[in-house]
């Protein structure tokens, strides 16, 4: 098996136009880079890391430390541990790849000397050679070769990554970077369009587009024909009057998303057309499948949903002059889930227009919905809030 794998790796290396990687070259590059990298750590830290590796229990390796430090964004120290693990386990391509990937990222950020990229490139070549079917290793190799100025090798490795994993937008974005570095702006735009089709709002794509201005014209030309944004508004919006209104909004948002897609900009890929139960106020007749009941000191709002479920909100409390203390709660019923109750709470409202709201205002106040009031309310375990409202529709909350 090792002989077959080695043969496949050699064939791939030659196909990519790379010089075959010798183990001693990789180890020499790793050793020198790790020595100089360790010298950048605080005094005694590299020696402490070395001792920690020596004292580590069985199963804990440099790879273990590397992943731990990587998650804490200590990329330089993670790279050091991955490099140590690669030297201790020369047949393991993962640590070689991880070392190369981190050094390349540090190089791009200007945080390591330029000559360290040669060690990253050799490590990435070795990893890709040992695991020629691993797309991530070829992606790392492409980035390292591009950082080293080897644009032809970068394009070849990045192309291989997209061949092995055509559904990964990151690899297409990095292929675009390699093609742009090689001066093929049109092909870079095509690669960006492929990344856009896979993940239009992905960070890899957005960053690549921003960094490749010379390829943006080709990108927009190629991304447009592939745009087919469909929120399925008529299917997802409730079959009610409110649902019909929401479906119009959904169609408008769909058109905006389609236009953004054709311009190569981020765009939403879905729309929420659920019919939400109103937080405040008396339900307007005809706009919901339901009804409201209001008598002095008590109000109930009932909504029947398209799936047969029912939502109810109840408030009760007497009006004592301009002050109305009240309690509230929500109920829900569905054929499959039965009844449930939540959002229990209460508060007190102070009408700021006592006697000044006219007959309609007085009527609304008596039903617990004064035309303008200040409210102190608490629901469940949430914090108490002070709200300025008009007919129970929130204006300000504190």
Question: pLDDT below 70 — which residues of the chain?
Answer: 1-24, 241-243, 275-289, 306-307, 354-370, 390-398
Q: What is the CATH number of domain 2-165?
A: 1.25.40.10
Residue 368 is predicted with a pLDDT of 63
Query: What are the extents of the domains in the chain?
Result: 2-165, 227-262, 290-397
Q: How far apart are the first and last CA of the chain?
A: 69
Closest C-alpha among 274, 304, 301 to residue 289 = 304
Residue 248 is predicted with a pLDDT of 86
Residue 360 is predicted with a pLDDT of 58
d(CA 183, CA 196): 21
Provide the H-helix boundaries in 237-346.
241-262
With a pLDDT cut of 70, the percent of the chain lying above it is 81
φ, ψ dihedrals at 341, nearest 5°: -135, 140
Residue 390 is predicted with a pLDDT of 66
Residue 279 is predicted with a pLDDT of 45
Residue 363 is predicted with a pLDDT of 63
Q: What is the pTM of this model?
A: 0.61
Residue 18 is predicted with a pLDDT of 41
pLDDT in tens, 320-354: 878 888 899 999 988 788 899 988 998 888 887 76
């Amino acid at each position: 098996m090792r002989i077959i794998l080695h043969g496949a790796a050699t064939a791939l290396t030659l196909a990519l136009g790379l010089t075959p990687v010798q183990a001693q070259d990789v180890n020499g590059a790793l050793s020198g880079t790790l020595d100089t990298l360790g010298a950048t750590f605080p005094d005694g830290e590299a020696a402490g890391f070395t001792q920690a590796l020596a004292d580590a229990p069985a199963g804990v390796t440099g790879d273990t430390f590397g992943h731990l430090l990587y998650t804490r964004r200590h990329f330089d120290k993670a790279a050091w541990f991955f490099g140590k693990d690669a030297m201790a386990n020369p047949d393991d391509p993962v640590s070689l790849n991880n070392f190369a990937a981190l050094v390349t990222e540090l190089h791009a950020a200007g945080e390591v000397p330029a000559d360290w990229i040669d060690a990253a490139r050799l490590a990435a070549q070795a990893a890709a050679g040992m695991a020629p079917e691993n797309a991530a290793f070829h992606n790392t190799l492409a980035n390292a070769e591009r950082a080293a100025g080897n644009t032809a090798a970068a394009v070849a490795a990045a192309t291989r990554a997209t061949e092995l994993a055509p559904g990964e937008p990151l690899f297409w974005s990095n292929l675009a970077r390699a093609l742009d570095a090689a001066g093929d702006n049109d092909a870079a735009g095509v690669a960006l369009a492929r990344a856009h089709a896979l993940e239009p709002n992905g960070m890899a794509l957005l960053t690549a587009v921003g960094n490749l201005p010379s390829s943006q014209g080709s990108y927009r030309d190629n991304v447009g024909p592939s745009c087919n944004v469909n929120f399925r508004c008529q299917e997802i919006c409730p079959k009610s009057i409110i649902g019909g209104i929401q479906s119009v909004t959904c169609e408008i948002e769909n058109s905006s998303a389609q236009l953004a897609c054709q311009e190569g900009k981020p765009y939403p890929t879905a729309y929420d057309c659920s019919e939400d139960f109103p937080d405040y106020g008396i339900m307007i007749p005809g706009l919901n499948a339901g009804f409201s009941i209001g008598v002095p000191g008590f109000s109930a709002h009932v909504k029947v949903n398209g799936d047969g479920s029912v939502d109810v909100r109840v408030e009760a409390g007497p009006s004592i002059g301009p002050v109305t203390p009240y309690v509230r709660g929500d109920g829900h019923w569905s054929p499959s889930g039965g009844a449930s109750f939540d959002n229990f709470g209460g508060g007190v409202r102070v009408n700021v227009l006592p006697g000044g709201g006219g007959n309609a205002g007085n009527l609304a106040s008596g039903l617990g919905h004064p035309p303008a009031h200040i409210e102190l309310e608490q629901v469940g375990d949430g914090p108490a809030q002070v709200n300025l409202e008009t007919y129970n529709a929130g204006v300000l909350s504190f």
